[in-house]
């Protein structure tokens, strides 16, 4: 396994012992076209039994959540009201320790299950799990929508952390999640009862370590996968983007994205569905004969979410 770990580290030239260093690099564009026969892709999924899925912000934009870096609509482009020294400061640990207000206002708006719901992309991942095909789901996203869609937490590796737990930024004392949610919704600043430090959800800020599980699971699950599906990411932020190159060279890889990214197109069994992610997932489920299953999972879960919100 050490060979695989070194390969992941080498793919991230700025990896510093697993610290999120705000690394963003221009991906190598290997080809302008990619094999996109939806019938062949559906057949591959049908025959696979150990699928790894990785996703980025593009998966959640259909739920109304903007990505981070789009020039006009991204989160970083719309933070003027917080008067930050620079946009990334809202997710910097040292800045939060002295100025938690900006992040707390942002967290109130984007707290999972309040203003945003899972979309068909999230339910497709849940469907892969129900069909016994999902080995592991890796995500850059911190919105928690895959959890809200019902994906088993044991199948999820949230590389950049989660809103499902919280802790003190000073002493790391765990903090009750319901208390944090209630306080954020009431515009109160959550404070540690043990040391009076500021509390935040356990999402990974710049300057914090990525979860150890990310590296351990990425090595093992990708090595033994028979298909990797990459959804809605630019593959520019490392070390997460390095996952895409961890499967064996002949392992099938499927890109569901607006455009070709990363090393897709460079391997013999690469395929892609380019364009609108939601439409491509619907078309894929139709070919698989899963359309009714997808609709049923979504309707049943949305009813459950509505009941829980009452």
Which residues are known catalytic residues?
A: 160
Structure tokens at 148: 């809200």
CB-CB contact of 273 with 41 (8 Å): yes
The b-or-e profile of 31-40 (16+ CB within 10 A means b, else e) is: eeebeeeeee
| Calpha distance 255→270 (Å, rounded) | 8
**Residue 215 DSSP SS3:** helix
- C-alpha closest to that of 38 among 211, 275, 242, 249: 275
Strands (E), the chain: 51-55, 134-139, 156-158, 161-168, 174-175, 199-203, 227-231, 252-257, 270-274
CA 101 to chain centroid, in Å, comes to 25
CB-CB contact of 297 with 131 (8 Å): no
**Helices (H) then strands (E): counts for the chain:** 10, 9
CA distances from 254 to 11, 105, 148, 194, 277 (A): 20, 37, 24, 48, 13
| Calpha distance 75→67 (Å, rounded) | 6
CB-CB contact of 244 with 235 (8 Å): yes
CB-CB contact of 254 with 227 (8 Å): yes
CB-CB contact of 62 with 280 (8 Å): no
């Amino acid at each position: 396994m050490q060979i695989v770990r070194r390969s992941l580290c080498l793919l991230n030239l700025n990896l510093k012992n697993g610290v999120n260093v705000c690394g963003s690099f221009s991906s190598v564009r290997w080809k302008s076209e990619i094999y996109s026969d939806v019938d062949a892709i559906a057949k591959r999924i049908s025959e696979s039994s150990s699928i790894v899925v990785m996703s980025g912000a593009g998966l959640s934009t259909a739920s109304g959540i903007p990505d981070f870096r789009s020039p006009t609509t991204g989160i970083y482009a719309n933070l003027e009201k917080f008067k930050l020294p620079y946009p990334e400061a809202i997710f910097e640990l040292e800045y939060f320790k002295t100025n938690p207000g900006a992040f707390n206002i942002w967290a109130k708006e984007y707290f999972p299950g309040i203003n945003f719901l899972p979309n068909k992309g999230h339910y497709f991942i849940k469907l892969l799990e129900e069909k016994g095909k999902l080995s592991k789901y890796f995500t850059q996203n911190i919105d928690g929508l895959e959890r809200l869609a019902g994906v088993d937490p044991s199948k999820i590796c949230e590389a950049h952390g989660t809103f499902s737990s919280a802790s003190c930024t000073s002493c790391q004392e765990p903090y009750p999640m319901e208390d944090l949610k209630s306080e954020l919704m009431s515009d109160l600043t959550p404070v540690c009862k043990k040391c009076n430090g500021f509390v935040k959800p356990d999402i990974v800020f710049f300057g914090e370590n990525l979860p150890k599980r990310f590296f351990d699971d990425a090595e093992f699950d990708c090595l033994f996968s028979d298909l990797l599906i990459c959804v809605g990411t630019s593959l520019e932020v490392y070390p997460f983007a390095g996952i895409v190159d961890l499967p064996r060279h002949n392992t099938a890889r499927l890109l569901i994205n607006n455009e070709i990214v990363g090393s897709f197109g460079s391997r013999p069994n690469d395929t892609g569905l380019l364009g609108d992610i939601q439409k491509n997932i619907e078309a894929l489920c139709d070919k698989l004969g899963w359309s009714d299953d997808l609709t049923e999972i979504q309707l049943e879960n949305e009813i459950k979410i509505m009941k829980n919100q009452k």
